[in-house]
A and B are shown apart, each in its own frame.
Chain A
Amino acid sequence: MTTVEERPHTGFGRTLRKEDVRLVRGKGNYVDDVRLPGMLHGALLRSPYAHAKINSIDTSAAEALPGVKAVVTGETLKGLGLAWMPTLSYDVQAVLATDKVRYQGQEVAFVIAEDHYTARDAVELIEVDYEPLPVVFDAKRALEPDAPVIRDDKEDQRDNHIFDWESGDAARTEEVFANAEVVVAEDILYPRVHPAPLETCGSVADMDPVTGKLTLWTTSQAPHAHRTVYALVAGLPEHKIRVIAPDIGGGFGGKVGIYPGYVMSIVGSIVTGRPVKWVEDRAEHLMSTAFARDYHMRGEIAATKDGKILGLRVKVIADHGAFNATAQPTKFPAGFFHVFTGSYDLRAAHCAVTGVYTNKAPGGVAYACSFRITEAVYLVERMVDVLAYELKADPAELRMKNLLKPDQFPYTTQTGWEYDSGDYPKALQLAMEMAGYDELRREQAEKRERGELMGVGIAFFTEAVGAGPRKHMDILGLGMADGAELRIHPTGKAVLRISVKTQGQGHETTFAQIVGNELGLPTADIEVVHGDTDQTPFGLGTYGSRSTPVSGAATALVARKIRDKAKIVASAMLEVSPDDLEWAGNRWHVKGDPEQGKTIQEIALAAHSSLELPEGVEGHLDATTVYNPPNLTYPFGAYICVVDVDKGTGAVKVRRFIAVDDCGVRINPMIVEGQVHGGLADGVGMALMQVMAFDEEGNHLGASFMDYLLPTSLECPSWELGETVTPSPHHPIGAKGVGESATVGSPAAVVNAVLDAIRPYGVRHADMPLTPAAVWAAMQGRPIRTDLAIP
């Protein structure tokens, strides 16, 4: 058990980013920037149908095109045993379709050519004979007896059922609901959306035919896990695979899993004996890579008449698409959805989630969801507002009344989570003060008198990030612990090697700050190495806001190992007992005689010198560690959104957004704030404009930035941030994760605000996205229901 050290955090604070030095000069190195001698280019042929049998594929015209080196189909892969690959949910996914296609945009054939333009030409020349099949496009109807069976490739699969999973005490919850004064139910959809990083997915595979070593540059948030999976898929020995994740142009969960395109670049390199690059375009990215959400939820909330919340109950139909490739810890098929009790002290809770197959792309866990906590927080924060609507209560007062109190921590929830720390009322109070809450309500009342529509929305969330204790959490059997290695060079400069992989979150800077904080080294003297599996220790990568909780802890502890060793070296230098030394932030000195001391730099040189060390003490100043977290960290926040709604058009303008986040100790406040800004923009986007819908033939209706709308600078307000600091007691530096908090917490705040604005029209709930057309329809008395399938 580690403890939070009570001393000033010298390395922490606002420090400019090391990464920026190259990135503002256009000198980043992203996958599509990689050039290798003799490199070829691959392109995928994708299915125009959502569900169809493949009768035949004619590749002769494509193969005859000058510049084309090879065309690979599912039949070719079958011969190599590579037509199917394992997913992160113990299902399988087709690399290239052999029997039939199961979603629009699915991978059917792969062309390798001298350049990208030629590869695309050749894709057009492939003829596929498809036999269309009935499509399952509505998750709510996927389990009907006459629904076509999508996964007839699986021997025992007779329907589209994937799993049933539940958490909480059903009987106790039933009892609480049966005796409650008030019970309110609501159908709540969290629509299918997509993380849509600006850089799409891609890879460059280089199989060296002489050494048998594969080097793969790839857009991977989890390079070590990818290496292991490739070893399992392709049967390559793991020490002959080097995965390099270079600079990544945003990930947001979309670059956790392995996609057929990556596998095909490897196959392409094996087939041609040359390096093969594959980079998808935006439409391919939106149609085939990991979507997010798609939870059809039935929420119920029980309370007393005066607003004491007693219980929550949820039933979910989870649309997982055609292959269950959801990225989450093995024992949690619905991720961490069971934190849906949120920030409230309840008597009972229960959730039941049923996963189903549909004719859509795989995914589910992505887009800063912290393993389904976006859905959980949205559910509870909508249900609390639904209750406020029924009780005619102020949503802020209702929350304040039910929030967990500081003295209840550590708090065990009805579904078994042990929240580490929190001071919720303080955060909500701060947000309300920053917003001028009472004044806003007065302004709203005046505007309502004049017939103007203004709304104030609140969301209070508790996150659960930092997966996780390896006893409970693994991905494909790989425990979720992370390694760190630290070497101090003779001249006192350091190299830190970490297992997580930044995609813009600033790890090169903040991890150096952690080392600097522990050893008193200047941040500029610490190089952080990440993303290259030949150079970094094993670990599970960056997602679920786990970098700071897990790898950040490993970094602090490996630095403390160095500090302990430095103490022994210093004692030899000073010719005193180690017990007589004390640490002063950057040096060991003799207790009571601070003049007699050695800095970490002096010690580093001595550790590499001819200095006589005690028996059994190796020279040099290097250390490694593996951190197995005892628990997750539970950051929280209070968000308030203010909107104006145009009565004539239904257009929503987000006027203000106040966000108070508490992630414990802040390593670099500047970077935390940037993370929050980005997540708040996600929330505005999801609440007001983003959705991937499908028609009844399974056509994807959001496959480009023409239809899948992302917020620009004009839809985003100037964010107003606040903070409180409640450290995590079990984390070595008291820090909690934070990257996903704003994406998790903000959609409910925006939706609650819009519904508050149109309250005079009597709308209790409406599904995202609240487009002008949807809001306008609601004001005409039509319900706002976003169905992922267009009827």
Chain B
Amino acid sequence: MEVSININGTAETHDVEPRLLLVHFIREKAGLRGTHWGCDTSNCGTCVVWLDGKPVKSCTVFAAMADGHEVRTVEGLDQGGQLDPVQEGFMECHGLQCGFCTPGMLMTARALLDANPDPTDPEIREAISGQLCRCTGYENIVRSVRWAAEKEAGGPVTESETPVEAKA
């Protein structure tokens, strides 16, 4: 069946089997490999993308169900090469190590800040509680999201005293 999904502003139209998962449509058909796949039971959240503006686990959606809808992935976060504050925050606060959970975490963080620009730490932890990270122990992910919130609010931004040469 033909499925057309608008991913990050580009229409992706492909002939697929009805059983194809959205995560595989994104990775295999659209060629966007930032979205990952880490479990078979909908627990890990490495596949989180936006479907019509809401975070979903794309391993738990058929591509056909997203036909005619809008998907946004990690590759669509930066604007003209300018990183989104959540991407900057994860770099500034060491919110990632192996990077495998990161794309999903970033999409959830962006959605959280859009809905709640000044979340408390418990609200941040609640927002990412459907997503597993094996490297960071979550602490720096919470800091990263808070950093992004502060940056967007134009307030004091913590942890930015460091040389940022690696950003080049």
| A774 to B41 Cα, complex, angstroms | 25
| A467 to B139 Cα, complex, angstroms | 30
| A196 to B98 Cα, complex, angstroms | 13
Q: When the two chains form their complex, are residues A679 and B137 in contact, meaning their CB atoms are under 8 A apart?
A: yes
| Known interface pairs A16-B166, A677-B139, A713-B142; A705-B97 also in contact (CB < 8 Å) | no
Q: Which of B19, B35, B40 contacts A26 (CB 8 A)?
A: B35
Q: Which of A25, A670, A713 contacts B94 (CB 8 A)?
A: A670
Q: Which residues of B contact A33 (CB under 8 A)?
A: 33
Q: Which residues of A contact B134 (CB under 8 A)?
A: 196-198, 250, 252, 678, 681, 710
| A718 to B142 Cα, complex, angstroms | 9
Interface-located stretch among B50-58, B63-71, B83-91: B83-91
Q: When the two chains form their complex, are residues B128 and A26 in contact, meaning their CB atoms are under 8 A apart?
A: no
Q: Which residues of B contact A716 (CB under 8 A)?
A: 137-139
A282, closest chain B residue (CB)? B39
B149 at the interface (CB under 8 A from A): no
Q: When the two chains form their complex, are residues B91 and A198 in contact, meaning their CB atoms are under 8 A apart?
A: no
How many Å from the CB of B82 to the closest CB on chain A?
A: 12
A722 at the interface (CB under 8 A from B): no
Q: When the two chains form their complex, are residues B74 and A25 in contact, meaning their CB atoms are under 8 A apart?
A: yes
Task: Encode A656-689 as 1/0 by CB contact (under 8 A) with B.
Answer: 0000000000000011011111111100000000
A28, closest chain B residue (CB)? B99
Tier of interface size on chain A:
35 or more
| Known interface pairs A24-B91, A198-B132, A524-B166; A249-B100 also in contact (CB < 8 Å) | yes
B20, closest chain A residue (CB)? A117
Q: When the two chains form their complex, are residues B41 and A19 in contact, meaning their CB atoms are under 8 A apart?
A: no
Pick the most buried of A27, A248, A523, A680: most chain B CB atoms within 10 A of its CB: A27
| A713 to B168 Cα, complex, angstroms | 31
A203 at the interface (CB under 8 A from B): no
Task: Encode B5-34 as 1/0 by CB contact (under 8 A) with A.
Answer: 000000000000101100010010000111
| A33 to B163 Cα, complex, angstroms | 31
Pick the most buried of B78, B121, B128, B136: most chain A CB atoms within 10 A of its CB: B136
Q: When the two chains form their complex, are residues A26 and B103 in contact, meaning their CB atoms are under 8 A apart?
A: yes
| A283 to B40 Cα, complex, angstroms | 7
B86, closest chain A residue (CB)? A24
Q: When the two chains form their complex, are residues B44 and A506 in contact, meaning their CB atoms are under 8 A apart?
A: no
| A32 to B106 Cα, complex, angstroms | 20
Q: Which residues of A contact B78 (CB under 8 A)?
A: 25
Q: When the two chains form their complex, are residues B132 and A523 in contact, meaning their CB atoms are under 8 A apart?
A: no
How many Å from the CB of A11 to the closest CB on chain B?
A: 11
B151 at the interface (CB under 8 A from A): no
| Known interface pairs A26-B103, A28-B99; A718-B44 also in contact (CB < 8 Å) | no
How many Å from the CB of A53 to the closest CB on chain B?
A: 29
Q: When the two chains form their complex, are residues B167 and A24 in contact, meaning their CB atoms are under 8 A apart?
A: no
Q: When the two chains form their complex, are residues B164 and A199 in contact, meaning their CB atoms are under 8 A apart?
A: no
Q: Which residues of A contact B40 (CB under 8 A)?
A: 281-283, 704
A233 at the interface (CB under 8 A from B): no
Q: When the two chains form their complex, are residues A705 and B136 in contact, meaning their CB atoms are under 8 A apart?
A: no
Q: When the two chains form their complex, are residues A504 and B94 in contact, meaning their CB atoms are under 8 A apart?
A: no
Within A1-46, the residues touching B (CB, 8 Å) are 14-21, 23-28, 30, 32-33
Q: When the two chains form their complex, are residues B102 and A677 in contact, meaning their CB atoms are under 8 A apart?
A: no
A228 at the interface (CB under 8 A from B): no
B114 at the interface (CB under 8 A from A): no
B43 at the interface (CB under 8 A from A): yes
Q: Which residues of B contact A23 (CB under 8 A)?
A: 96, 99, 102
A536 at the interface (CB under 8 A from B): no
Closest 5 CB pairs of A and B: A26-B34, A504-B98, A249-B100, A23-B99, A677-B137
Between A and B, 14 residue pairs with Cβ closer than 8 Å are A24-B96, A25-B77, A25-B87, A28-B34, A198-B46, A673-B94, A677-B137, A677-B138, A678-B97, A679-B137, A704-B39, A704-B40, A710-B134, A712-B132
Known: A30-B100, A674-B94, A679-B137; 7 extra A-B contacts, CB below 8 A, are A25-B83, A677-B140, A681-B134, A705-B43, A713-B124, A713-B129, A718-B139
